[in-house]
Structure 1
Amino acid sequence: MSDKITHECGVALVRLKKPLSYFQEKYGSPLWGFTKLFLLMEKQHNRGQDGAGVACVKLDVPAGEPYMFRERCVKANPLDKIFKTLLAGYNAKVDAGTIHPEFAETVKKHFDFGGELFVGHLRYGTSGGYNMSSCHPYFRRSSWPTRNLALCGNFNMTNTAELNETLIALGQHPIFATDTQALLEKIGFYLDEEHEDLYRSLRSTGMKGVEMSRKISEDLDIARVITRSAQKWDGGYTLCGLIGNGDAFVARDPSGIRPCWHFENDEVVAFASERAPLMTVFDAAVEEVKEVAPGHVVVVKRNGTVKSSAFTAPLPRASCSFERIYFSRGNDLDIYKDRKALGGKLADQVLKAVNNEWGNTVFSFIPNTAEVAYYGLMHALRERRRDEVKKSIMIAAREGKLDEATLDDLILRNWPRGEKVVSKDIKLRTFIGQESMRNQLASHVYDITYGSVKAGEDNLVCVDDSIVRGTTLRKSILRILARLNPKKIVIVSTAPQIRYPDCYGIDMSELGKFIAFEAAISLLKERGQTNVIEEVYQLCREEVARGGLVNHVRKIYASFTDEELSARITEIVRPKNIEWKGNVEVIFQKIENLHAAVPEHTGDWYFTGKYPTPGGYRVVNQAFLNFYEKGDGRSY
């Protein structure tokens, strides 16, 4: 994605089913589980680089000793810093003779993360800033193990204010911070309720002390806690929680918006936001890694039993299509196929844009996540050209005109030509505060391969996976591509036009920043249809006031074809004040081709405005109010 947007988060959970001594004996390390957590997080570093956090629960710890630990970091390279710090402490104790790795009990006693249950979180700062207080996991503490809770997740709730109101109605005094805090308190309340019900019931039988605590731990019904807590949740989420007694849970939203996968064998139970990391870290076959069912919570009890159960009413499947287009790593076999298909579906539009000039067109991509789609486009183009060549050869053979020169002309000169035209040279450092200076720096983030395009003769086609704001195209990419002096530059987005905000985990909620929205507003004003803007404003106000489920922002786009909007987007992003006089065209994936390429991920609200939950409609209408009233910030 040429436009940087913050998005998503990544989660990992590891529960060992054997004692630490087992892993020392079999793998030569009592930190096998701790290492697996690090690897799962490292393999998902694409999902968050603004902060990281880990937590650990130790089983069977004697009374009086700590059993639940957390480490968080919001500095640069947070994941590396956390694990290096923890391992440095471990090694220091090994060197001092406090820990003897061959004796697992010394690891468990003297190393905070020498436990059996781990959770990790990678964060992008979509809300709450970048300070430590907004970094997962969140903790809720108690002297009762069954009331301790560590919570993290990949999620956004659209109705945090409503969730806080329910807490007030329960008699609490919530701190209005993030949706994570609201969920922590809501789950914590019902965890307390579950504990208290069991406590009172067992006390009435005369049971006391350690036996009562053990029985509460056995009978604690985490699925019921999540079911009661989730009654008013609206959003996309994968939640991971650790209970101090050693229970753990993973819950996924009923539309399957946010992803979650699960692996289990006789040694470990593990969860992650993506499938491929589980396959790599545990050397698992694809059929061994299962998807966590939408609307289900998987509970791992302290005794190691694993059970999945529904905790909320099912909703139509709406898994996020952006996971396939951009966010998830492309080494998952299905994601790789989907991205190739997305590129292949663009072949017709691309050929039309370059007037079928096979011999005078160079194909490339804008690094790095668009690379797989580029391979898909090239595969489709080569198939097309192969069929054309085959037909021409057969005709020439029938007419007796087939010779070596003809074959060279057909096969070699006009074969689709791919080049590495654009390279990402440096990471932009934002320590310079002056905006104009930052823009000058941004123009040097990308560089080009000089001589890869025949000046004045070749068209240059560059594949991008999505175009959100168009800022990088305007200020950087098109300017540097123009240095090659191509006849025409075609920017090809594997995603359709992004017209509507997201509220389920991606920081794309300000309508005024979308290039497609900017284009539509520009056309409305140019054509004297400003009354449409005013009408939509009034409709959105009424819809927000009554909590309705109609997306009135769709009226902004209703007057225009996709091609008209793309043409205006092209005008907006075309660089100003440069000597190059060639043509520019911006092409977007058609929505029907998106559905054909990614049939299992139908969450397309970014492009269609059809949201899977009521909160989405509230957000899109509020986003327009914010735009019209010149308000800043997110719309939820």
Structure 2
Amino acid sequence: MSEFISHECGIALVRLKKPLAYYQEKYGTPLWGFNQLFLLMEKQHNRGQDGAGVACVKFDVPAGDPYMFRERNVETNPLDKIFQALLTRYNQLVADGAVHPEFTETAKQKFDFCGELYLGHLRYGTSGGYNLSSCHPFFRRSSWPTRNLMLAGNFNLTNTAELNDSLIAIGQHPIFATDTQAILERIGFCLDDEHEMLYRELRSQGLPGDEISRRINAELDPARVLRTAAANWDGGYAIAGLVGNGDAFVARDPSGIRPCHWFENDEVVAFASERAPLCTVFDLEAAQVSEVEPGCAVVMKKSGAVQVERITAELPKTQCTFERIYFSRGNDADIYRERKALGAGLADRILSSIGGDLENSVFSFIPNTAEVAYFGLMSELRFRRRAEVKQTLLDAAKAGTISEALVDDLILNNWPRGEKLITKDVKLRTFISQEKSRNNLASLVYDITYGVVQPKDHLVCVDDSIVRGTTLRRSILRILKRLNPKKIIIASTAPQIRYPDCYGIDMSEIGKFVAFEAAITLLKERGQAAVIEEVYRLCREELKSPGKIPVNHVKKIYEPFTADEISARITQLVSPPANGWKGEIEIIFQSIENLHRALPNHSGDWYFTGNYPTPGGFRVVNQAFVNYFEKAEGRSY
């Protein structure tokens, strides 16, 4: 994606299954779990740079000693700062003689982050601001271990207001900050209920206080807590929680919108938002890593028991397609294949656009996440060219007209040519306030390779997706024109983004989408502006009195036009002034059909189709249109 979009966060959890002395003996450090947490987070640093946080729970700590710890940072490179500070602290303890690593109990006693259970979070801020108080893990404290809760997640809920209202209805005083706070308080309330239920039952049996505490720790049921807490959640989520008694859980939304993976062996149970980091950090094959099943929680008791429990009813699986197109790192084997297939899916449209003239075409990509799709496109084009060459040779051999000149022509000519043309040079920061000056500086973020493209050439650049079109308008197309090609073609591996997201990506303001802008301008130009007012009226009615089957009324904005008509208008909208250049620009988008072929296991395509997996999504899209029509800025949920 050539333009910046805040999106999904990353989570990591490491639960050790052996005594700390085991890891000291085998791996040479009692901080093996701590180190593995850092590696899991570092391998997912693409998922968030707005903040980072880590937490640790120590088992079997004497009464009176702390047992839960948390560090958070929202500065530049927050993950590095957290781990450097903590390791510096540890190394100083070793240097002072306060900690002797071979005696693991000294490390556990003296160093806060030498424990058995770890949680990490990488944050992209979509709500709640960018201060430390909005940074995960969130912490709900109590003097009872079973009522202490730390929570981190990759999620957005669409009904945070309703959740806060439900907390008020039961007598709480929630702080209206983020959906994380609402979830923390909801789970915390249910955790309190669970604790109280067990306490009353055990106390009625006349058990002494220490025995009651031991039994509550053992009998607490995190799955039952989550079933109650999650009953009314609407959204996409992967949530990890640590309880002060040593229990832990990781839960996933019933539609499987947000990703989460895990594995278990005799040493550790570990979780991450993406599969590849687990494979790399723990030296695993892909088949050894499982998805957390949608609507389920993996519950880890302090005793070491690990169970998968269903906490919400099953819904159709609609995993997020943007994870595969752009957000997740491409070193996962399946994602790599899927991105190549997305690139290959563009071949027909591109060949049509260049008139089949591979000889006079140069192919490139807009860095860096479109590179794998670019490889897929080039593979497909070469495959097709090889098939053409083979058929021509067979026909010539059959006719007896094969010649050295023909072979030379087939081998040397009309093959797809790839070049590295665009480089993202540096992110410029400026205090300049004038819009024109800022735009001029933005055009210098990307640099190009001169002397490769000729005036007769088509220049084809693969991009992951086009959301707002601002980077194309202000930067990329302006600099590509300097190469003076015959035609510039921008090919998006994603279809047109028409509808807002409310499940994790910061894309809720529909008026900022270039596809929406294109449809609105076409309606006005063709005398169909009444459709805009009709959709506004329908959206208002739907929000006021939603039907049993939710309706996305915004689809009516696009219905009068073909995808090609909207693409053509997008091309007009993002094309900068010619300024003497006489070439042509065309924007090409992936088809929905090719998207589904490339991502057969990920059907979450609401950004493109408007088909939301939960009622909250329909409410958000209708509210987003109302906000647009009323010129109200901000999120629509």
TM-score, normalising length from structure 2? 0.99
CA distance in 2, matches of 1:70, 1:432: 39
Partner SS for 2:107: helix
Tell me the residue number matched to 1:156: 156
1:538 Cα shift?
A: 0.3
Matches within 5 A, 1:27-176: 27-176=27-176
Aligned to 1:302: 302
Alignment-derived partner of residue 510 in structure 1: 509
SS at 1:468 equivalent = coil
CA distance in 1, matches of 2:216, 2:315: 33
- What amino acid is aligned across from residue 419 of structure 1 in structure 2? E
Q: 1:576-601 CA deviation, whole Å, 9 max, x = no partner?
A: 15221100000000001101110100
Shift of the 577–457 alpha-carbon distance from structure 1 to 2, 3 Å rule, reads: closer
Distance 1:31 1:438 in 2: 47
**More deviation in 440-449 or 133-142?**
440-449
3-state DSSP class of the match of 1:298?
strand
Shift in Å at residue 409 of structure 1?
A: 1.8
Distance 1:20 1:434 in 2: 59
**Partners of 1:408 and 1:122 in 2: CA distance:** 55
Between the aligned partners of 2:356 and 2:432, the Cα distance in structure 1 is 45
Matched, 1:585 2:586: yes
C-alpha distance in structure 1 between counterparts of 2:507 and 2:352, whole Å: 31
Task: Say whether 1:523 aligns with 2:522.
Answer: yes
Q: Deviation of residue 442 (structure 1)?
A: 1.4
1:374 corresponds to: 374
2:235 corresponds to which residue? 235
Give the whole-Å Cα distance in 2 for the aligned partners of 1:434 and 1:63: 61
Cα distance in 2 for residues equivalent to 1:306 and 1:466: 40
Q: C-alpha separation between the residues in 1 aligned to 2:444 and 2:186?
A: 47
* 3-state DSSP of counterpart to 1:242: strand
Whole-angstrom CA distance in 2 between matches of 1:43 and 1:430: 30
> 1:88-121: per-residue Cα shift (whole Å, max 9, x none)?
1111111111111111101100101001100000
The corresponding residue for 1:14 is 14
- Structure 1 residue 46: Cα displacement: 0.6
Could you say what secondary structure the match of 2:312 adopts? coil
User: How does 1:538-553 map onto structure 2 within 5 Å?
Assistant: 538-548=537-547, 549-553=550-554
CA distance in 2, matches of 1:419, 1:453: 9
Report how far residue 509 of structure 1 moved. 0.4
Deviation at 1:232, TM superposition (A): 0.7
Match of 2:201 in 1: 201
Alignment of 1:284-299 (within 5 A): 284-299=284-299
Partner in structure 2 of residue 445 of structure 1: 445
2:463 equivalent in structure 1: 464
Q: Structure 1: which amino acid aligns with 2:512?
A: K
State the match for 2:276 in structure 1.
Answer: 276
Shift of the alpha carbon at 1:206?
1.4
How many residue pairs match? The answer is 635
Task: For residues 7-51 of structure 1, give each alpha carbon's deviation from its aligned partner in whole angstroms, at most 9, with x where no partner exists.
Answer: 000000000001111100001011100000000000001110110
Q: Does 1:554 align with 2:555?
A: yes
| Residue equivalent to 1:385 | 385
For 1:58 and 1:389, the matched residues in 2 are separated by: 67
Structure 1 unaligned spans of 5+: none
3-state SS of 2:543 partner = helix
- 1:225-250 CA distance string (max 9 Å, x none): 00000111000000000000100000
| Per-residue deviation, 1:315 | 0.5
For the pair 1:185 / 2:185, whether they are aligned, the reply is yes
Partner-residue secondary structure (3-state), 1:139: strand
Bigger Cα displacement from structure 2, 427-436 vs 90-99? 427-436
Matches within 5 A, 1:581-620: 581-620=582-621
Q: Which residue of 2 aligns with 1:487?
A: 486
Q: Distance in 1 between matches of 2:3 and 2:245?
A: 45
After superposition, give the CA deviation of every residue in 1:495-554 in whole Å (9 maximum; x if it has no partner): 000000000000000011000000000000000111000000000000011134100000
What residue in structure 1 maps to residue 411 of structure 2? 411
- CA distance in structure 1 between the aligned counterparts of 2:50 and 2:137, rounded to whole angstroms: 14
- 1: CA distance, partners of 2:481 / 2:564: 23
State how far apart, in whole Å, the 1-side matches of 2:621 and 2:285 are.
41
In structure 1, C-alpha distance between the alignment counterparts of 2:415 and 2:394, rounded to whole Å: 18
Distance 1:357 1:223 in 2: 60
2:572 paired residue number: 571
What residue in structure 1 maps to residue 631 of structure 2? 630
Q: Distance in 1 between matches of 2:501 and 2:430?
A: 26
Instruction: Give the distance between the partners of 2:159 and 2:437, measured in 1 at CA.
Output: 39
For 2:105 and 2:546, the matched residues in 1 are separated by 57
Q: What amino acid does structure 2 have at the position aligned with 1:567?
A: A
Aligned counterpart, 1:534: 533
Secondary structure of 2:251's partner?
strand
**Alignment CA distance shift 1:101-1:436 (3 Å):** farther
Deviations 1:134-172 (CA, angstroms, capped at 9, x unpaired) = 100000000000000000100000000000011011111
Question: Matches of 2:399 and 2:430 in 1, distance apart?
Answer: 65
Match of residue 333 from structure 2:
333
Deviation at 1:411, TM superposition (A): 1.7
| Cα distance between partner residues in 1 of 2:325 and 2:380 | 18
Equivalence for 2:420: 420
Give the letter aligned to residue 339 of structure 1.
R
Counterpart of 1:92 in 2: which secondary structure? helix
Task: Please give the alpha-carbon distance, in whole angstroms, between the structure 2 residues aligned to 1:355 and 1:471.
Answer: 28
The equivalent residue for 1:358 is: 358
Shift of 1:179: 0.3
CA distance in 1, matches of 2:364, 2:199: 65
Instruction: Return the TM-score normalized by structure 1.
Output: 0.99
Q: Residues 186-225 of structure 1: CA distance to partner in whole angstroms, max 9, x if unpaired?
A: 0000000000111111111111222211110000010000
Q: Give distance in 2, aligned partners of 1:169 and 1:506.
A: 30
Partners of 2:24 and 2:430 lie apart in 1 by 45
**Aligned counterparts of 1:577 and 1:358: Cα–Cα separation in 2:** 25
How many Å apart are 1:436 and its aligned residue?
A: 3.1
Q: Which residue of 1 aligns with 2:223?
A: 223
Work out the CA distance in 1 between the residues paired with 2:427 and 2:412. Answer: 38
TM-aligned CA deviation for residue 435 of structure 1: 3.5
Give distance in 2, aligned partners of 1:259 and 1:360: 42
How far apart are the structure 2 equivalents of 1:431 and 1:187?
44
The more displaced of 327-336 and 401-410 is 401-410
User: Partners in 1 of 2:409 and 2:210 — Cα distance?
Assistant: 86
Give the counterpart letter for 1:502 in structure 2.
Answer: D
1:317 aligns with 2:335: no
Give the drift of 1:396: 3.0
| Aligned match of 2:348 | 348
In 1, Cα distance between the equivalents of 2:372 and 2:546?
41
Q: CA RMSD, aligned part only?
A: 1.0
| Amino acid aligned to 2:390 | K
Aligned mates of 1:394, 1:226 — CA distance in 2: 66
Amino acid at match of 1:245: N
Distance of 2:564 and 2:601 partners within structure 1: 27
| Residues 437-494 of structure 1, C-alpha deviations (whole Å, 9 max, x = no match) | 332221111111111211x111000000100001000000011111110000000000
Give the equivalent residue in structure 2 for 1:475.
Answer: 474
**Secondary structure of the corresponding residue to residue 239 of structure 1:** strand
**Secondary structure, in 3 states, of the residue corresponding to 1:338?**
helix
Secondary structure, in 3 states, of the residue corresponding to 2:240? Answer: strand
User: 5 Å matches for 1:490-501?
Assistant: 490-501=489-500
TM-superposed CA distance for 1:412, in Å, is: 1.6
